[in-house]
């Protein structure tokens, strides 16, 4: 019998994939600060996994890494130009098929055609051609699916949002039931938990779950929360929390919920609100990198994540630059599970 399993992100990893911001991306007005942020992420990540970096500017990358404590020999630069930097959404989603890794190359259409994505959509194939994934199979799937739209507990349950995964700008020919069948076929999903509520102002993704709620070990879910009744997110987050309380594990038990704080409102130069979220953390071997925003709630967020991952080092990384283009730390990274690179 063919078995497929999408591992949880806290399982052992070989590496993490990123794409370097460059002048031809929307990062141009903020290029130096965002490159500094990328260098910080890569430096910390290199102590826990190999770093695969898509870039056509290796000398520029080295200049930014020079003043960090990066483990340089664990950073592999792959000469590849991208439209943008959101590796979570265009990078391969790795499953284990009969216990062997298979890289699933889903289609990426720039979050419903909002942005150009031809280079990003081809990235996984180009990385494979470069030889980085060795002999492991890269399976092309004619289904639009972004990594940030789903979260796995590693045991057959996926968490997602109706606003994104059932949006007509992704796979308009599919119903929600069709999408569940596709998730079973390609990712081994036995159950899909659909969130109907929750959103972030300034979010381009139509409600990626990795900005809202995340699985953690021992039947735990971390989720954003808001205790400010005058905030426009207050009622949506309260409704989402009620949904999470109603969810049950595969064995019929309620989940342990850990509420992440809500950072103070941040705004772009033109006045629109930016989607800052502490749920957008990255789990690596032995550590968790948590986005911070020079905000009074940063310390509390780190403590909450520590409750979910007590045996790991919790590292805050200032991601104030990343939210200027409406994403954060998890959005710019894609983990490469154990067995792909080794």
Residues annotated as catalytic (active site), given as ranges: 331
Instruction: Write out the two tokens for 141.
Output: 């799937």
Tokens of 192: 């899909």
**CA dist., res. 36 & res. 27, Å (int):** 12
- DSSP H or E run through 41: helix 31-45
Instruction: Judge whether 161 and 151 are in contact, CB under 8 Å.
Output: no
Q: What is the C-alpha to C-alpha distance for residues 292 and 281, in angstroms, rounded to an integer? A: 9
List of E strands, 162-266: 191-195, 213-216, 220-224, 256-260
Q: Write the CB contacts of 67 (distance below 8 Å, at least 6 apart in sequence).
A: none
Q: Give the span between the Cα atoms of 106 and 252, in whole angstroms.
A: 32
Q: How far is CA 339 from CA 88, 103, 145, 173, 290, in A?
A: 19, 11, 23, 35, 25
Best CA proximity match to 146, nearest among 120, 119, 176 = 120
**332 CB-near residues (< 8 Å, 6+ apart):** 18, 19, 38, 41, 85, 86, 87, 88, 322
C-alpha–C-alpha distance, residues 341 and 104, integer Å: 15
């Amino acid at each position: 019998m063919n078995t497929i399993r999408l591992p949880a992100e806290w399982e052992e990893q070989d590496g993490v994939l990123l794409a370097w911001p460059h002048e031809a991306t929307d990062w141009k007005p903020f290029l130096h600060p965002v490159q500094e942020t990328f260098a910080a992420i890569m430096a910390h990540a290199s102590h826990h996994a190999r770093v695969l970096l898509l870039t056509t500017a290796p000398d520029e990358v080295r200049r930014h890494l020079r003043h960090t404590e990066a483990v340089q020999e664990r950073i592999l630069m792959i000469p590849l130009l991208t439209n943008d930097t959101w590796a979570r959404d265009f990078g391969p989603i790795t499953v284990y098929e009969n216990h062997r890794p298979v890289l699933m190359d889903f289609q990426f259409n720039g979050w419903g055609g909002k942005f150009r994505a031809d280079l990003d959509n081809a990235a996984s194939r180009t990385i494979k051609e470069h030889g980085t994934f060795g002999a492991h199979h890269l399976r092309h799937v004619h289904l639009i699916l972004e990594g940030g739209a789903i979260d796995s507990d590693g045991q057959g349950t996926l968490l997602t949002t109706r606003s994104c995964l059932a949006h007509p700008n992704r796979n308009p020919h599919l119903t929600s039931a069709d999408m569940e069948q596709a998730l079973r076929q390609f990712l081994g999903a036995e159950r899909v938990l659909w969130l109907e509520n929750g959103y972030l102002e300034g979010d381009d993704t139509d409600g990626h779950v990795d900005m809202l709620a995340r699985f953690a070990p021992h039947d735990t879910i971390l989720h954003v929360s808001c205790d400010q009744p005058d905030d426009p997110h207050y009622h949506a987050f309260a409704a989402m929390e009620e949904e999470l309380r109603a969810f049950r594990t595969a064995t019929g038990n309620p989940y342990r919920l850990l509420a992440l704080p809500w950072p103070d409102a941040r705004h772009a130069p033109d006045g629109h609100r930016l989607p800052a979220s502490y749920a957008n953390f990255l789990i690596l071997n032995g550590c968790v990198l948590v986005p911070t925003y020079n905000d009074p709630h940063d310390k509390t967020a780190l403590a909450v994540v520590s409750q979910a991952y007590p045996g790991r080092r919790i590292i805050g990384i200032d991601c104030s630059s990343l939210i200027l283009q409406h994403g954060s730390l998890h959005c710019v990274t894609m983990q490469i599970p154990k067995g792909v690179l080794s």
